[in-house]
Structure 1
């Protein structure tokens, strides 16, 4: 089998083992386990913590002591074993620590997989600029396929999603040991300070107004990047609480609907060179922020029947929202930093978006939703007053399910209802404020030379 095909398999499996549970874990948390919404953000908090801590540490290990492909394989095997243990956890607090262990193993493999591909392609005299993108796009396809398998096998709220990911992670870990060797590069000097080794020297960029502003906006926008991954599938699935929507395609195949977002992502990557050349880096970043406003706003007013087009369009817009900022932001760092700290600066960009930004978004959104947009009813009259209807309404009957009404209209157990429309509207307002502030405060003149490398 050719090197390109072997790396394509690695790329496909790399995101498959994440996509099998990332989008659907909310259904498992809220539906199967029925745990508190306030703690749900802690699951995605682990992505941020891992993104801050692990890539630099594993980068040093791969650079000095262990072949990158072996370290990559070991991490995936450990990740697989942790996923096997997750379904045994019956406490949200314990779940946090176990999923954190899984993410500490998985998150550094995202950058390691790129490093392995670059090294192997270079060693075999391939043009990385031409060869790597078609390989990498199979990673997104792997994510989509995993989502479809989880949904079509009836496991979008089941612990089986972790078993599916775990089995494939173990296979990927073993497969990694068969890849061509990627020995330590020893690119970091032996006497280099730990600040340099960990890539922290890039923090001096905060001394420049424009760079500091860019990284701050990266963090704030990073807070929005995982919100639809956290809540999108739950949002669509909970339309099933209402008689009008419970048998709709959207409810039954919510994960497949959400996968349109990832399909869109692969397509918008192809449009990036045109937009960058035509509008420049700042305008493309601004377009991304406005796309997030649309992403959330369309969800706020969409529904599985009359508003289905808004849900579909929101998923399509996601590709522009996600890709445009990540690519244009990375290019901004590449063209405005000195070569001696460029790699560290790229790491800082990722740390601010997927690290500190993810921490901010996960924690604040879960607290906000639980406190202001989640209603728990123990009294039937309160439930009916909230919806402005009567007990014979089919929607109320569906929400109550088999819940018995005891003395004084007290319900047998709490009924939880989330106000999704206002949840998404609050996210849209957040993104709009960021976009307006960015347009006013961030000054960057378009230079066609900045984007020459991606348009030719």
Structure 2
């Protein structure tokens, strides 16, 4: 099996794990009485990204070969997600029985799972970059076509959980049918915790597969020199902040990271909310509509090598920032109740490809080029810390507060709160305004001289 094909399989599974639950867990939580805690599940994902990628990256730089550490991390994350699935099943039974759902067990198991999964995003980049370089490939040219299959994996997982009914929309429909509890339990459980089982099983599969990947030797210095504890832990990647260019890049990566998980957490509940008062295929299948975002992402990845070499990192990042403005703005004025509204939702999903890829993938490539070899994994971990860690945690927590102000769970749907003007449109337009401010300030303060033809 060729090197590129092996990395394609790795990326496919890497993001299929995430896609199996990331955009539909909000519906699941809402259906089992945990809707008010949606933001906390995404905040937890961000919080662990603050320290775990740096720690795992440091271990990969200093002690354990990256591909082996990738396998260990996925096996651990997969096991904890299966435990979370068990508690999700218990939560489903509690909901069916009319009991109050306990958040503690499922939340703790979920946190432990994502604590080991989130570092693997940066770690899989490190593995791919190392293997490609060791085999004479150009990372800027050859990595994006490989990474695109990660997005394909994300899409396939989303479609799978939607079509087989694991997306979290079954409990309410079953309750409305008025069937007995004994009949209800199997149907309700099918539509909830099973998405977590899919995630855990894929994690175990990739964990085992990672041990078959080519060795990624640890880059050690030839000089025998005394190293401080900070250096041994790989935290020396923070030295990159001494460079004004890199400091600003990481700061704005954090500010833009605020936007990353907002639509993952609230896009499907928002689209599904239209089903509370009108019949619409799109409202009943929000996961499929949102998957257009990932299809766009898969296509936009292929544009990155050209755009980076033609325009440079500053313009590419600005493209991403303004795409986030459109992403949120189109959501704010879109709906499933008219053709124009549906078109706007589709446009929001289409621009997501630019918003996400031109930020995440281009940023990882930029960090890979600017950081020295001994701190490659640590630098990627730092990028993850600033974006999916600090940025996403703060952004999702604030988003949860904003959504809770304007909307409330009622009858299984997250709809506009009575007596509050604005509702869902106001929340999305607030997020759009934030992204616009970040983009304008970035354009003014980030200085980067680009040489055409050089990424």
Alignment of 1:434 with 2:438, yes or no, is: yes
Cα offset, 1:85, TM superposition: 1.4
CA distances 1:383-438 after superposition (whole Å, capped 9, x unpaired) = 997599xxxxxxxxxxxxxxxxxxxxxxxxxxxxx921111111111112222332
The structure with higher relative contact order (CA 8 Å, sep 6+) is 2
Alignment match, 1:200: 235
Cα offset, 1:72, TM superposition: 2.1
Aligned mates of 1:58, 1:64 — CA distance in 2: 10
2:57/2:380 contact within 8 Å kept: no
Alignment match, 2:51: 53
Alignment match, 1:25: 25
Runs of 4+ that moved beyond 6 A: 334-343
Alignment match, 1:365: 399
2:132/2:139 contact within 8 Å kept: yes
Alignment match, 2:454: 453
Matches within 5 A, 1:54-69: 54-69=52-67
Taking structure 2 as the reference length, the TM-score comes to 0.80
Alignment match, 1:146: 157
Cα offset, 1:21, TM superposition: 0.4
Q: Which runs of 5+ in 2 are unaligned?
A: 92-101, 169-191
- Number of residue pairs the alignment of both structures matches: 412
Aligned mates of 1:262, 1:240 — CA distance in 2: 23
Alignment of 1:256 with 2:259, yes or no, is: no
Q: Give the root-mean-square deviation of aligned CA atoms.
A: 3.1
Aligned mates of 2:417, 2:129 — CA distance in 1: 60
Aligned mates of 1:264, 1:447 — CA distance in 2: 27
Aligned mates of 2:38, 2:315 — CA distance in 1: 34
Aligned with 2:388 (options 336, 350, 354): 354
Cα distance, 1:212–1:145 mapped onto 2, change above 3 Å: same
Taking structure 1 as the reference length, the TM-score comes to 0.80
Cα offset, 1:333, TM superposition: 5.2
Cα distance, 1:175–1:343 mapped onto 2, change above 3 Å: closer
Cα distance, 1:360–1:190 mapped onto 2, change above 3 Å: farther
Aligned mates of 2:366, 2:131 — CA distance in 1: 27
1:220/1:357 contact within 8 Å kept: yes
Alignment match, 2:317: 285
1:73/1:173 contact within 8 Å kept: yes
1:17/1:168 contact within 8 Å kept: yes
Q: Which runs of 5+ in 1 are unaligned?
A: 389-417
Aligned mates of 2:211, 2:410 — CA distance in 1: 54
Cα offset, 1:445, TM superposition: 4.8
Report SS of the residue matched to 1:225. Answer: coil
CA distances 1:294-329 after superposition (whole Å, capped 9, x unpaired) = 100100111113310000000001111112233554
Cα offset, 1:8, TM superposition: 2.0
Bigger shift: residues 430-439 or 314-323: 430-439
Aligned mates of 1:226, 1:249 — CA distance in 2: 25
